[in-house]
Amino acid sequence: MKLICDKDKILKAINSVVKGVASKTTMPILEGILIQTNENEIKLTTYDLEIGIEYIMESNVIEQGSTVVNAIMFSEIIRKLPNTEISISLNEKNLLEIECEGSLYKLATMNPDEFPELPKIAVENSIEIEQNTLKNMIRKTIFAVSSEENRPIFTGCLFEVKENKLNVVAVDGFRLAWKSTYLTSKVNDFSAVIPGRTLNEVNKIILDSFDKIKIGISKNQALFEMDNCKIVTRVLDGEFLNYANVIPSTWETRIRVNKNAMQDCFERISLISSSSIEKEKKYPVKVCVEIGKVTISCTNQTGDAKEEMYVTTEGKNLEAGFNPKYFLDSFKAIDDEEVFVDFGSSISPCIIRPVEEGGDYIYMVLPIRMKD
């Protein structure tokens, strides 16, 4: 095997596949990148038995072949080489030679026949969507995915197609993020829960462009396909939350507020809320809504903090406690200047939604009971 390629192109390919490399495994082959040539293309593949990534790029292939090389070592060497053409070849001792200007590195390789094949997916349902649309939907929901492995189903996002609308939903037991978009072509209804880890990698690879990405779903696998890259992942088993039944349809108190101004208030309050001497304790902030005004405050051993904002209010006065991080996460995901914050009672969920974006993005936060 011998090929010549530009550093920036192969580095982009490596960066796209490297997250499919197993980090903790008893199988050294899963710590490698499978390199295969096909005429004037090379294909890089990684697979940790949960997520597999394949990337194809054009290259000047002088001699066909395949090998597996340790991913971390290979990527770090390529990253630090000069920005010019790189020659990659397999010598008679089965060492991978990497040459660039005056640099020469030789790496041990592994048998490509031992590298596990990516699952062949019999796609039952599929959709095509613009990459920038998917990127936006993941960005607006992924932060609400659970990190608790005791409820695995909530460590992923629900992808649900219903009446030609794609809903992406994340929930962690304390908050919920929901984003939807209408699809341009008629497709069947289906749903699947895709691991948050996979979606994070998809989001890094896809472009902020109008190019399409195809999402295919089978019984226990999902496939993301772009022009030169495909990602295979398992889907999560279990029953996802019936989110439509837990999102309140009415409110008793509503404020309309500049998102950045309220975000700044919560960030300042968080300095007190998160700086408790008792690190394991989580101190909520109190949100108090009165006519034309909202007051955000926090008290703990570190000190007291209070922020007042003049806002547009409707409905009843209200007092409730919240984790400030959950508000901040939602504000960072909202692009609009103004948001509605809707409250029921002091113990019912709060809904945050953009004023201009319509009904296709909703963020729900559960309150925390305040001590007297």
Q: Give 149 or 127, the one with higher predicted confidence.
A: 127
- Within-domain flag for 215: yes
Indicate which CATH number applies to the domain containing 285: 3.10.150.10
Give the tens place of pLDDT for each residue, 32-82: 999 999 999 999 999 999 999 999 999 999 999 999 999 999 999 999 999
What is the extent of the structural domain holding 227?
125-245
Domain finish residue from 114, 139, 174: 114
Q: Are 24 and 55 in contact (CB under 8 A)?
A: no
| Three-state DSSP class for residue 329 | helix
Same domain for 235 and 262: no
pLDDT at position 182, please?
94
* Of 23, 25, 24, 54, nearest in space to 38 by CA: 54
pLDDT at position 344, please?
92
Same domain for 261 and 229: no
pLDDT at position 281, please?
53
**The pair of three-digit structure tokens given for residue 145, joined into one six-digit string:** 């995915």
Give the tens place of pLDDT for each residue, 303-328: 899 999 999 999 999 999 999 999 99
Please give the helix or strand (H or E) that residue 221 lies within, else none: strand 221-225
- Within-domain flag for 371: no
Q: Taking the model in full, what pTM does it have? A: 0.91
Same domain for 234 and 186: yes
- pLDDT mean across residues, the chain: 93
Same domain for 147 and 104: no
Cβ within 8 Å of residue 84, ≥6 positions away:
6, 7, 100, 101
Phi and psi, residue 26, nearest 5°: -95, 0
Stretch 267-287: mean pLDDT: 74
Domain finish residue from 223, 245, 267: 245
User: CA torsion sign, 69 to 75 to 80 to 82?
Assistant: positive
- Within-domain flag for 224: yes
Give the tens place of pLDDT for each residue, 230-261: 999 999 999 999 999 999 999 999 999 999 99
Domain finish residue from 114, 143, 160: 114
CA distances from 277 to 53, 310, 315 (A): 44, 32, 38
Cβ within 8 Å of residue 249, ≥6 positions away:
none
Same domain for 289 and 257: yes
* Residue 280: pLDDT band with limits 50, 70, 90: very low
CA distances from 180 to 111, 138, 154, 247, 361 (A): 45, 11, 18, 14, 7
Give the tens place of pLDDT for each residue, 193-208: 999 999 999 999 998 9
- Within-domain flag for 120: no
Point out the least confidently predicted range of 5-9, 94-98, 359-363.
359-363
Same domain for 227 and 191: yes
Number of domains in the chain: 3
- Find the radius of gyration of the CA atoms of the chain: 25
Long-range contacts at 288-296 (CB < 8 A, ≥ 24 apart) = 288/317, 288/318, 288/319, 289/253, 289/255, 289/313, 289/317, 289/318, 289/319, 289/343, 290/317, 291/317, 294/255, 294/257, 294/262, 296/265, 296/266, 296/269
Point out the least confidently predicted range of 14-23, 84-93, 231-240, 272-281.
272-281
- Within-domain flag for 372: no
* Residue 150: pLDDT band with limits 50, 70, 90: confident
Give the tens place of pLDDT for each residue, 76-120: 999 999 999 999 999 999 999 999 999 999 999 999 999 999 999
pLDDT at position 223, please?
97
- Within-domain flag for 119: no
Same domain for 109 and 179: no
pLDDT at position 62, please?
96
* Of 180, 171, 176, nearest in space to 152 by CA: 171
Cβ within 8 Å of residue 354, ≥6 positions away:
334, 335, 336, 338, 339, 340, 361
pLDDT at position 370, please?
76
- Within-domain flag for 236: yes
Cβ within 8 Å of residue 319, ≥6 positions away:
286, 287, 288, 289, 346, 370
Same domain for 60 and 36: yes
* Residue 357: pLDDT band with limits 50, 70, 90: low
Please state, for a pLDDT cut of 90, what percent of the chain lies above it: 86
DSSP state at residue 138: H
Same domain for 173 and 98: no
Q: Which residue has the tokens 């082959």?
A: 29
- Within-domain flag for 159: yes
